[in-house]
């Protein structure tokens, strides 16, 4: 008997690491829903992948617009009836040149809207579809910059990388990972945080890794076997301290 296609949704996927996650999941046989806040940018990104991956579809999802979450849930429900992998990849960083003593409150609010609140609301709205999958995986694209225990070491490699809004939004996202994994512990759903590495993208012009390397952690966590971890924080197969 043929298995139904596995369906993956990746947010913030019109460029950068998200686009490459779509490519790698497509190569593994997933039907890929390539999420973008701008439908034209999403459609041209999907077009780019289509030569190699036939089953890629651009979908509209803006982390700051919950009505796009509801519309997307309806579309996935009617087209597929289930969702096997949700990669919450969309993210922004607005305060690279600021510190905790001068970052405007509005900048912190704006950052949390995309990197934290949007992730929780989208995930909750899609959970009924994830529960319909035999083994759904949720990946929260975090960052080592969200690691409070590394930041707390005065001589750590993060000692000079202290944008409060971005770093706190990723620490909060990690809290969501731990709490959602606990809430879903009696289900087959696994929830993990990923650190992609320092990846050369528009978000990080000083990144040293390629997007191909940067996508590996999220793809691994989106395709974990039944005995894989849940409620963890990883770069590749290595745990990162919270």
Ligand X SMILES: NC(=O)c1ccc[n+]([C@@H]2O[C@H](COP(=O)([O-])OP(=O)(O)OC[C@H]3O[C@@H](n4cnc5c(N)ncnc54)[C@H](OP(=O)(O)O)[C@@H]3O)[C@@H](O)[C@H]2O)c1
* Footprint of ligand X (CB under 6 A): 11-12, 14-18, 36-38, 41, 62-64, 89-92, 114, 141, 143, 195-196, 198-199, 201-204, 207
Beta carbon nearer to ligand X, 143 or 177: 143
Residue 48: CB minimum distance to ligand X, A: 13
Residue 216: CB minimum distance to ligand X, A: 13
Residue 56: CB minimum distance to ligand X, A: 15
Beta carbon nearer to ligand X, 135 or 203: 203
Look up 166 and say whether it is catalytic: yes
Beta carbon nearer to ligand X, 132 or 210: 210
Question: Hey, what are 45's tokens?
Answer: 């990104």
Residue 226: CB minimum distance to ligand X, A: 27
Beta carbon nearer to ligand X, 129 or 211: 211
Which position among 69, 80, 112, 166 bears the catalytic label? 166
Indicate which residues carry an active-site annotation: 166
């Amino acid at each position: 008997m043929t298995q139904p296609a596995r369906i993956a949704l990746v947010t913030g996927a019109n460029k950068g690491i998200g686009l490459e996650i779509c490519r790698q999941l497509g190569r593994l046989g997933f039907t890929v829903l390539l999420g973008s806040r701008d439908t034209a940018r999403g459609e041209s990104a999907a077009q780019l992948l289509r030569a190699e991956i036939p089953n890629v579809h651009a979908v509209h999802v803006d982390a700051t617009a919950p009505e796009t979450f509801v519309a997307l849930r309806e579309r996935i429900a009617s087209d597929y009836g289930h969702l096997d992998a949700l990669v919450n990849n969309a993210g922004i960083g607005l305060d690279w040149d600021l510190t905790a003593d001068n970052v405007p409150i509005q900048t912190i609010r704006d950052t949390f809207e995309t990197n934290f609140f949007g992730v929780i609301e989208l995930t909750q709205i899609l959970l009924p579809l994830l529960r319909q999958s035999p083994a759904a995986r949720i990946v929260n694209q975090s960052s080592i910059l969200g690691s409070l225990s590394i930041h707390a070491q005065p001589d750590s490699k993060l000692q000079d990388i202290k944008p409060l809004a971005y770093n706190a939004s990723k620490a909060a996202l990690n809290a969501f990972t731990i709490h959602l994994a606990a809430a879903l512990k009696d289900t087959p759903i696994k929830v993990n945080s990923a650190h992609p590495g320092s990846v050369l993208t528009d978000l990080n012009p000083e990144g040293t890794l390629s997007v191909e390397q940067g996508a590996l952690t999220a793809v691994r966590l989106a395709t974990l076997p039944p005995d894989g971890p849940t409620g963890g924080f990883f770069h590749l197969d290595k745990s990162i301290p919270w």
